[in-house]
Each structure stands twice: as C-alpha cells, then as structure tokens.
Chain A
Amino acid sequence: MKQKDTLKRVLDFIRPYSGYVAVILVFALISVTFTLYAPILIGEGVDLILGKGQVLFDGVLKIIVKLGFVVAATAVAQWLMNLATNHVTFCVVRDIRRKAFAHLEEVPVKYIDSNQPGEMMSRIVTDVDQFSDGLLMGFTQLFTGVVTIVGTLGFMLSIHVKITLIVVLITPVSLFVASFIAKRTFSMFKLQSETRGDMTSLVEELVGNQKLVQAFCYEKKAEERFQEVNEKLRVCGIRALFFSSITNPATRFVNGLVYTGVGIFGAFTVLNGGITVGQLSCFLNYANQYTKPFNEISGVVTELQNALACARRIFDFMDTPSVDPDPEDAAELKECDGSLELSHVYFSYLPGTSLLENINLNVKPGQRIAIVGPTGCGKTTLINLLMRFYDIDRGNIKVSGYEAGHVKRDSLRQQFGMVLQDTWLRSGTIAENIAYGRPDASREEILEAAKAAHAHSFIKRMKNGYDTVITEDGGNLSQGQKQLLCIARVMLLKPPMLILDEATSSIDTRTEIKIQQAFEKLMEGRTSFIVAHRLSTIKSADVILVMKDGNIIEQGNHKELLKENGFYAKLYESQFAVS
C-alpha cells in the first residue's frame, strides 16, 4: 500500500467527524491570528509609553481594552479547538479499534494460527495509540504551525520588509541544524534500541525462568551475561541520549541568533526612522514565535511518517481476507441426528504438501470415535475440518445428511460441543463462563450443568462462588478446574455431537477421574470424537482412527486393529516395554 492510499483510508475514518475538523480548522485560524495580533497591540501600547512625561494614557487604555478582547477570543478559540481535536482523535481511535477487532472475529482460523497474539495486541493497542498521537496531534500542530508561519510573515511584512527578510533568511538554519543532528543520531538510536531489545529478551528469558536459573545454579553466569549487555547499553545509551538532547539547545541557539539579528537591524531601522520602538518589540516577539513552529514541524514530519507507518500496519491487518461468507442458499442445520460421513476428503495446510488423503469415514449416530497417534500426528487437523475452522480441499463432509459446505457455519458449529486441551475461559465470572453458549440460562440451569460436570463442589468453595471473577486466561484456577468449567459450558448446551480432547498432561488423577465421569455423562447418546490418551477410552471406542504424520493410517476397533498387527498394535505393545 502506498503512503497516499494509506492517507486516503485514514481520511475515510476521519470523514464522519468532518464537522469537528471544520471547527478545528476555523478555530485554529482564529486563535493563531489573534495570538499574532496581540504582540502588535502590545507594541502599539509600548509606543504610547515613550518616556518621562510622554505617556498617552487614553490610548494605552484603549489598547488594553482591545488586547483584553483579543486575549479572551484567543483563549476561547484555543479551548474549543482543543476540545474538537480531542473529540476527533479519541473517536477515530475508537472506530479504528472497533473495526480492527471486528475483523479479528472474521479472519480465518488459519490466520490466527499463524500469528502471535502479541502481534495482534501491538496492532490494536500500541499501533493505534501511536497513530492517534502522531497523526492527529501532528496534523493540528502542522496546521497551526503553517498558519503561524504564514501569519507571522504577513504581519512582519506589513511592518517592515527588510527585517522580515533577516528573519526569513536565518530561520532555516535551525531546520538545517536539526535535520543534521537527526541524521547523525539515527544510527545511534538504532544501535541503542537494538541493544535494548537484546537486553529485554535476555531479561525475559533469565528472569522469566528465574526458578530454573536457580535450580541449575546459573546465577553467576547469568549476571555475567547480563552485565555484558548492560554495559554495552550504557555506552551506546549515553551517546544516543546526549546527541539527541543536543537538538534543543542547538535550535535555541539559532533562535538566539535570529533574535539578535532582529535586535541589531531593528535598532538601526528605528534610528533611520523605519519603525518605532514598539514595533521593534513586536518584531522581537515574532522572532521567537516564528522559529518555534519550524522546530516543531521538523519533529511533526517524522511523527506523521511514523503515524502513517502505524496506520499502514493496521490497514494491512484489516485487509487480510475474511473467511468466505456462507453461500446465500446455505441451509440452517437445525435437526441433527448425529450421523456424519467423510468421503474422499483431501486436505493440506500448505498447497503442494499433501496431508490428509482420500479419507473415508462413516459415523452412525451415537458412535464413539477415538483418535490416537503419537505427538504431532495431526489429531487437531481432523477437529479443524469437522468444525470448519479450515475448509477441505476436495471431497465432502456430510453432517446429518447435509453437506457441511452448504450449511451455515454457525449452525454447523452449534451441533458440536467442544472441549479442547487448551482450556480457554474468558475474563468474567464463573457463571458467565458456564453460560457462554446460552447467556439467557437461569442460575438453576447453570448450577445443574456445573453439578453434572463435577465442577459444583470446587466452585462452591470459592470465595464468591459462581460470581468469582476469573482473571485473564483462568489464572486463578488449576488446569483441571478450568477443564471442568469447559465441560460444564458444553453440558449446558447439550449439543448432538461432541469433540473432546482427553488431555491428561497437566491434570491430576483424582480430578481426571471426575473429568472422565463428566465426559461419560456428556457422551451418553451423543456422537463423540475423542482425542484419546486413555486405553480404556480407546478400547471401548466404536472406531479407532490411528493417525501418523498427519494422515489416518489405520481405522477399526481395538480387536480388529490388533489383528492387523500394524502401527496400532506396535503402539499398544510399547506400553509394556519395561517390565
């Protein structure tokens, strides 16, 4: 995307607030003009106060009254401009965030799988913030800056052309100096931020795993490694900090030169009768005001570029394709008997590398299908396809006689209850989480589901019971408790089909027994797909799908598969390797 296109899209977001933008522009113009007019009035006032016995009090009073109005108008205009700017800034930021978030809910699961949550957060939170700081603040500063420069120039020219020329000629020097320094410091900043990045990742690793560091007595080595980076950061940090802080004094020095130049030539002009002393004081005032926006603008330009870069990253995300919408004639899957059929299904994550090939499977209502295989064999692939998180390449999947590709996604997904190994709970109360699928469920129903999932007893013991707030990602619950809540969440819905992951790795045995009992209850009369770890589950399954390297290599029940003496038989035997 080109910068111009980015800008155009930014403007699209601002357009709804064009009324406010007009307010900003008008009041910026008013406030800048009046701000510039005030020194002229002050200068006129000074001219009426020449010296001992040479003061025209009437005139001074008139000017003061005039000044009063000008100042009041400036203040009001400034205030209204600030309010309007805030309004536009914060609302545009809100709109962009909402749009980006809505898109997050629409992107294919594939996109989510291939991106880190941290990246998404930096898009929606940090980038949007930087964008608002940079673009909208920058925009107003740029505008008022330009108006100030033009206005000052106009006012100065109206007083005296030659002195104005001096100001115009010396001022760019400060711009020149600023950009000269900025160029020199860029590489230092880069080095500093790289070193800082190195340090942050070292700290994240070592402090983040502090317990391991201690268990291995790695402290001394860790301190050595840290101190090395720390010292490096100190050296390049001093440079970056120092050279970047030169900009201010240097431009101030140039401003001083402008001031002096105006002072000297102004004084001579006064001597030649070109201007009055009051006008000279007005010029001196302008000399300060004129150079300031120049200093600001050089900063604003980089800010604007940065803001546009941030905006581009946000738009890039918004431009990632959403899932294909359901076809218009897609049916609503209402009555589901729990039968399922896969015929000649082909699928791969990457075009060219085949994964599932020609899969056929016929599931009758109420059957249990166990999926087994070594780690990383692609058991989740099947779940991804059944839930239509990913779409198959060829073949077809029929659910309850309907072709899965031709029913509405949401209605298809509602037929499945899913309990995965990654137990996800959202921030909110326990009751809200259990009722996630049916927010209108009554407290009784929630309690009933929790009891059926064997979750009631631990919930009851929590400080606020069902109203206990779960912190981010269920931080205050154990893995087993989280899983029980996920089961309760499905229990409340009673869907006709289930997808379960018997994750045993981080759950203790006693809780596991409870989970197993809960699963049993849940599976009664329902078609179930189970990523199985327990032999008892595997043995009692109607169909066992044996997966290896992403593909289903064997299919049948326990006895049949043992007889086949293939991969499954080997897997089963390996249980008894040590005896």
Chain B
Amino acid sequence: MRELIRYLKDYKKESIMGPLFKMLEACFELIVPLVMAAIIDTGIRNHDRPYIWRMGLLLVSFGVLGLICSLTAQYFAAKAAMGFGTALRRDLFAHINNMSYTELDILGTPTLVTRMTSDINQAQAGVNLVLRLFLRSPFIVVGAVLMAFTISVKMTVIFLIAVPVISLIIYFIVKSTIPIYKSAQAALDRVSLLTRENHIGARVVRAFSKQQEEISRFEETTGALTRIQLHAGRISALLNPATYVVVNLAIMAILWSGGYVVDSGEITQGELIALINYMSQILLALIALANLIITFTKATASAIRINEVFHTQPSMCGGEKTGSEGDGEVPAVEFRGVSFSYANAKENALEEISFSAAQGETIGIIGGTGSGKSTLVHLIPRLYDTSEGEVLFRGRSIQEYQLEYIRSRIGLVPQKAVLFQGTLRDNMKWGKEDASDSEIREALDIAQARDFVEAKEEGLDLKIQQGGSNLSGGQRQRLTIARALVGKPDILILDDSASALDFATDAALRKAIKEKTRGMTVFIVSQRASSIKYADKILVLDDGRMAGMGTHRELMENCRVYEEICTSQLSGEEVQRG
C-alpha cells in the first residue's frame, strides 16, 4: 500500500483535511459526556434551569458543528479516494500498454483485467475508509482515556487496563480469522470452478452418465466450504460477547471504585456517569476499528497485486527509423540465424532460423504444435525480441525502426478472431485510423467478407457486440483478415487464420489475396497442407528447427516431415497434382 500512496500527492490538501475534520468531529463527540456531567452536577444540583437550557443549546451546536466537520471530511475523503483510484487506473492502464508480449506472457491478460478493475476498486475503498475512519477510532479511544484522566487520575487506571485487553481480543480474533477466510475463499473458488465446469461440459457429463458422481463431488466441496465457514464463524462469534464482557467488567469496576472516590469527594456523580459513557464510546470505536482492519487487509492484498504489475518493466524499446530504404531488390523480410526462447522457458522455441522472403512472395509455414510457427511470425512485427540473430525488414534490422512504423507496415491476423465492441467501421479502422469507406470495402472484398456485410441492413454501421458474439466464427475470421488489409500493409501475416472457413471460402480468399494485393508479401501459417501448397516458398518447422524449405514439389522429394504431413491430409492424387 505504501508504494501507492504517491497517487494521493495531487490530493495532499484533501488527504490531510479529511482526517483532520474527522478528528475535529470526534472532539465534539468527546465533549458531550462532560457537558452532560455539567448539566447533572451544576444544573440539577443548583436547580439552575437557564444553565440546563444553555448547556442543551451547547450540545445542539456541538452536534451541528460535528455534522459540518463530518460532511467536510467525507467530501475530502471521497474526492481524494476517487482521485487516487482514477490516477492509479490511468497509470496502470498506460503501464500495461507499454508492456511487450514477453511481460504479458508472464503475467497473463486475465489477471491484468482483474487487477485493473476489482483490485483498484478495493484499494480505492481502502483509501476512502482510512481517510475517514482510521484516525478517528484510535483518536476517540485516546481522547476518551484522556478525558477520563482529566476527571480522575485514579479511575483512569481502569481504562488503561480495559483498552489493551479489548484491543488484544479484537487483534487475536481478527488475526486468527483472516487466514480461515482466505481458505473459505479458495473453497468458494472451487464451487465456481465446478459450476463452470459442469455447465461447459454438460454434454460430456451426460454422455458418460456421470451426473450422480458430479453431484456428489459438488456436495463434498460445499460440505468442505461449510465446515470452513462454521470454523471461522465459531471464532468470530466470540468477538461481541467477549468485548461486551470486558467493557462491562470495566463499568463494574468504575462503579465500585467510583463509590470510594465519590464518597471521598474527589469526583461528582455526574462525572461518574461521564466515565461510564466514555467506556461505551471506546467499545464502539474499537469495534469499528476491527471492521476497518478487515477491509484494510483486503485493500493491502489488492495493493500488492497492483504493485506486481508496476514492478514488471517493459523490456523493449523502439528505434527511430521510419522510411524504408531499399526497393524491390532488397528482401522484404529476412531472418539471419534467429534463435528465440520465451521468458522462463528452458529450451529455445526457435533454433537457428534463416530465410528470406522477397517482396510479393507468398510464404507458407507448416509444422507441428510447439514447432514454433506462430513464434516465428510474431518475430516479424517485433512482438518479441530475438534471443540470438537478427530479423531484417527491407534490409535493415527491425530494432532500428520505430515500433509504430514497423507494426503499421505489417498486418497481422491472429489465430483467435477477436473483434471489438463498436461498429464494423470502427473495427476496420484499427488497421488505419483515417481509412475511408471505399478503402474498407476494398479490404472486405479481398477478405471474402463483402457479401455478408452488404447483406446486413446496417452495412458498415453494423454494431458488433462484445467479443463479436453476433457473428459466426467464419465471419469474424474474415473480418479480422479485412482489418489487417485496410492499412495496405507491406506484409500480411495469416497466423492460422482461416481455420473456421470452409474449403471453398479458404480457396477463394487465397486467390483474391494473390490477385488483388500485388507487391504484398504474405505469410500463411496453416495446419492444412492444401492452404500452403501453392506458396512460392514453404518453410517446414519441426521442434523449432527448419526441417525444410522450398516449393511443394521440391519438399515432397527431399523433406520427409513435409511428405508425412501431406500424405496424411491429401489423397495420393492430390499430392501429385500439386
């Protein structure tokens, strides 16, 4: 939490004024029992009616002042806490945007989403509570003890014993329940997991007729959860009775010893009542503090998770070059002895890869899972940096280019067809911010998406729901291809991006790309031999190494891995026809 405090620096005034006003309010509250004592001792004893009225008025004005202070404090706290949350969110978002793929792999995007949302909300709530209450409760406790001190030094001893005892009770109960609550949370997570699992896997569960087993598994889990909750409940059920007993023991002690000090004339009856009142105030304040500690623990856990993200520093910085130098003579992309390993991985995902792709060529990439196909194409727009060797774009190392420039020249169509909320036009503009409708239509045309888009009434204004759920898988995939084509990139990368298309559409797409995008270098990663067999050059990857390179015909003759793949997928006749 301490590290995040800096986000309050724009709200210094608010962060100081908030607690200050809160303490001021507490002061007014602390005076009340004394005024009451005065009413009893002076007003009643002397039958001074005007005095009682004056004191009553004083109490009301204290109430009004307290209300004003309290409202001011709440306002400052709300302003500071929201400001804190907003600034923190802004910075964390910007920080995440600066990360490279390597860091994203390590942290994982789903957890980044929770940290961006619920963790920051928790931290924000924590700040708000701290500003409002964290100082108030201890202040009331200390204040009440001090007030008791002004009334009677001897009687304060009772306070000095009772306060630590209550604090200890609260401390131990909170401390011993927090870990139990954590394990309850873990059990609850398991309940969610089973629910989710049985919803997604409903077909399989039914196919195997395992409903009864799944139900008993769930019953076991909920049983365990209930046991943990009851265990935590048994401990926290002690909190109220235990503190109640201690406070009342203290009050009994005040009554007993109060008898002696009043008898000897050291304090008055009214002051005795005031002492009892202070005791009750302490109890309330400490209980509020206990709740606060629980909220604060949650906020601290969230703060730790947020800081983890901040501590992950981006490992990549871009170069300065933008323009290209060479012309058609220079290869569009060249790999020179490239090896690459993912963070935390023991083995290289790519080993000594060298090849070059001329402008306008189509390069097919094929190979097994984990053979490094996707990794290879991710290196082209510098989404990762190589461990060894060099990747060149138009004869120059990609590290020398600005990241924005290199990425705007390369259109990537990822494996997963993701679209964003907004209109279809908005989505297309991801590739080129100022793309005109005719540019977009042209891209849709090549991506075989024009027909279905035009069949929709709204056309380019079609609203796309979150995750593109109002489109079929094949439609989404074609739109992601169009999105990459809008900016007319020099290089197009299709990372297994036609898997949801049927054979006919897949073929038409390849044909259109070939005919309508002259000069564009195209990389096609695919599982289907039929998708890449007409490429100018085919790279065959096996376990991160280049197992073969050449045309379909060449590879059929000299690359065993390639031959194996082809014969498994195509009939003999088709293999020959290539």
Contact = CB atoms under 8 A, between A and B. Distances in A.
A389 B207 CA distance: 9
A572 to B, nearest CB: 9
Given A71-B245, A535-B574, A413 B229 contact: no
Contacts of B96: 207, 210
B507 A245 contact: no
Interface string A104-115: 111001001001
B568 A513 contact: yes
Contacts of A332: none
A325 interface: no
Interface string B227-257: 0011001101110111011001101100110
Interface in A189-233: 196, 199-201, 203-219, 221-223, 226-227, 230-231, 233
B178 interface: no
A185 B178 CA distance: 33
Given A42-B255, A117-B199, A536-B571, A51 B268 contact: yes
A49 interface: yes
A284 interface: yes
A186 interface: no
A577 interface: yes
B215 A101 contact: yes
B564 interface: yes
Interface stretch (B216-224, B299-307, B393-401): B216-224
Interface string B63-101: 110110011001101110111011001100110111111
A52 interface: yes
A528 interface: no
Given A49-B272, A509-B368, A90 B233 contact: yes
A204 B466 CA distance: 9
B230 A87 contact: yes
A496 interface: no
A487 B372 CA distance: 25
Q: By DSSP majority rule, is chain B's interface helix, strand, loop, or mixed?
A: helix
Contact of B255 (A60, A389, A436): A60
B41 to A, nearest CB: 9
A42 B277 CA distance: 11
B369 A49 contact: no
B66 A256 contact: yes
A450 interface: no
Interface string B300-320: 000000000000000000000
Contact of B200 (A211, A436, A473): A473
B52 A221 contact: no
A11 interface: no
A49 B262 contact: yes
Contacts of B421: 201, 205
Interface residues of B, number: 168
B233 A83 contact: yes
Contact of A436 (B47, B210, B244): B210
A511 B203 contact: no
B404 A217 contact: yes
Interface stretch (A261-269, A297-305, A352-360, A392-400): A261-269
Given A105-B205, A217-B403, A71 B256 contact: no
A215 B414 contact: yes
A277 interface: yes
A29 B535 CA distance: 85
Interface size class of A (residues with CB under 8 A): 35 or more
A534 interface: yes
A64 B256 contact: yes
A413 B206 contact: yes
A250 B369 CA distance: 65
Contacts of A74: 241, 244
Interface stretch (B155-163, B190-198, B327-335): B190-198
B528 A504 contact: yes
Nearest to A106: B211
A86 B230 contact: yes
B77 A245 contact: yes
A573 B126 CA distance: 66
A253 B502 contact: no
Interface in B366-402: 366-371, 381, 383
A52 B263 contact: yes
B559 interface: no
27 contacts: A49-B262, A52-B263, A52-B265, A75-B242, A98-B222, A105-B205, A203-B117, A210-B96, A210-B109, A214-B97, A218-B430, A219-B97, A222-B97, A223-B93, A223-B97, A230-B93, A249-B71, A264-B53, A267-B40, A410-B209, A420-B203, A424-B201, A439-B213, A506-B496, A507-B527, A574-B507, A574-B508
A-B pairs, 3 with minimum CB distance: A86-B233, A82-B237, A508-B369
Given A52-B265, A506-B527, A570-B504, 11 more contacts: A90-B226, A207-B116, A214-B101, A230-B89, A256-B60, A259-B59, A277-B40, A285-B280, A418-B203, A472-B196, A534-B569
